[in-house]
């Protein structure tokens, strides 16, 4: 999802808001309302509507499995970077040296890119080579799945309490990054690029597709989770109010996160230009 924030230029905000109103809010309300009305999970809801629609519930569970695998890998990388952040100096702050000189590949790319590809991933030279067993990634992946297991092992009783942390902590981190990001050299250029409208981009279908995909991911639509959470609401709960509140908070959070990202991207771009000038 973070990668999709890169599409948040001035023109992208327009299709994002349109898709939010036409796609995100209605589907969010439908899923939350179905769960609240029938008090069932995704499988039960679709089977109750019609037995032939039971496959939709099964498909949503399969999609959720694939998304969980995908996001747990990202959490794995976060754990690895978190553990390495206690080292001084930071391993991605300087290029490794060979015979007293910096590694050429690191000099030609950057310290962060070299650490990502050659240390974190230890990427193989080609797709035909496996590259061997990366024990550090496996350990972090096991830790990631263990944490997720303890969060959901008691169902809504445990996951509902954890949500207080998982919902509020990212805002704290974003605020720290925001304060730090806007003070970096070139942050203004990044923000200017973000809010500079490129109206011609609206004619490209991929921009609208990216906006629709961003809405789907940010709301968690079609995963079955909204139906499951809605089933725990009381029958008289005002789900329309909940949908509007979550939609507004979601849109503000997306824009807030994009500001942080573009401020840092502006800094990286300025840093790259300065490095090229020095060379």
Q: Find out whether 233 is annotated in a ligand binding site.
A: no
| Entry pTM | 0.81
Rounded Cα gap, residues 242 and 29, in angstroms? 9
Q: Is the pLDDT of residue 1 over 50?
A: no
Compute the distance between CA of residue 172 and CA of residue 23 in angstroms, rounded to an integer.
29
pLDDT band per the 50, 70, 90 thresholds, residue 30: very high
What is the model's pLDDT at position 158? 65
Q: Give me the pLDDT at residue 160, please.
A: 66
Cross-strand partners of 101:
98
Please give the radius of gyration of the chain, using alpha carbons only, rounded to the nearest integer: 22
pLDDT tens for 43-98 read 899 999 988 988 998 998 898 899 889 999 999 999 999 999 999 889 998 888 88
**218 marked among binding-site residues:** yes
pLDDT at 190: 87
Percent of the chain exceeding pLDDT 70 equals: 94
- Listed ranges 5-14, 30-39, 117-126; the one with the highest mean pLDDT: 30-39
Closest CA to 264 of 170, 190, 197, 154: 190
Tell me what the mean pLDDT of segment 19-24 comes to. Answer: 91
What is the rounded distance in angstroms from the CA atom of residue 33 to the CA atom of residue 240?
Answer: 9
**Alpha-carbon span 6 to 12, nearest angstrom:** 10
Question: So what's the pLDDT on residue 9?
Answer: 56
Distance of CA 50 to the CA centre of its chain: 34
Q: Are 1 and 193 contacting, i.e. CB atoms less than 8 angstroms apart? A: no
CB 268 within 8 Å of CB 183: no
Residue 6 has pLDDT above 50, yes or no: no
Task: Tell me what pLDDT residue 195 has.
Answer: 78
The average pLDDT across 214-236 equals 87
Give mean pLDDT, residues 25-47: 91
The predicted-structure confidence for 115-161, as pLDDT tens digits, reads as follows: 999 899 988 878 887 777 889 999 999 999 999 998 888 776 666 67
Is the per-residue pLDDT at 13 higher than 70? yes
């Amino acid at each position: 999802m973070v990668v999709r924030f890169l599409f948040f230029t001035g023109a992208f905000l327009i299709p994002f808001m349109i898709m939010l109103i036409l796609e995100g809010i209605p589907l969010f309300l439908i899923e939350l309302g179905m769960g609240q009305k029938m008090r069932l999970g995704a499988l039960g809801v679709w089977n109750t509507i019609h037995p032939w629609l039971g496959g939709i519930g099964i498909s949503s569970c399969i999609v959720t499995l694939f998304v969980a695998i995908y996001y747990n890998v990202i959490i794995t990388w976060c754990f690895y970077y978190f553990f390495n952040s206690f080292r001084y100096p930071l391993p991605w702050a300087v290029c490794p040296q060979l015979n007293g000189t910096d590694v050429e590949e690191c000099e030609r790319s950057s310290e962060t890119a070299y650490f990502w590809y050659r240390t974190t991933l230890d990427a193989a030279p080609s797709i035909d080579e496996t590259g061997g067993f990366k024990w550090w990634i496996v350990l972090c992946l096991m830790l990631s799945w263990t944490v997720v297991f303890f969060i959901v092992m008691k169902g809504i009783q445990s996951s509902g309490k954890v949500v207080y942390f998982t919902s509020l902590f990212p805002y704290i981190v974003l605020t720290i990054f925001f304060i730090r990001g806007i003070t970096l050299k070139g942050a203004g250029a990044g923000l200017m690029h973000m809010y500079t409208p490129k109206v011609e981009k609206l004619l490209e279908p991929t921009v609208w597709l990216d906006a629709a995909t961003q809405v789907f991911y940010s709301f968690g639509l079609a995963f079955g989770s909204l139906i499951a959470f809605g089933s725990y609401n009381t029958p008289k709960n005002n789900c329309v109010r909940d949908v509007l509140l979550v939609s507004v908070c979601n849109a503000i959070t997306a824009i807030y996160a994009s500001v942080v990202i573009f401020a840092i991207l502006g800094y990286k771009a300025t840093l790259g230009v300065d490095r090229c000038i020095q060379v």
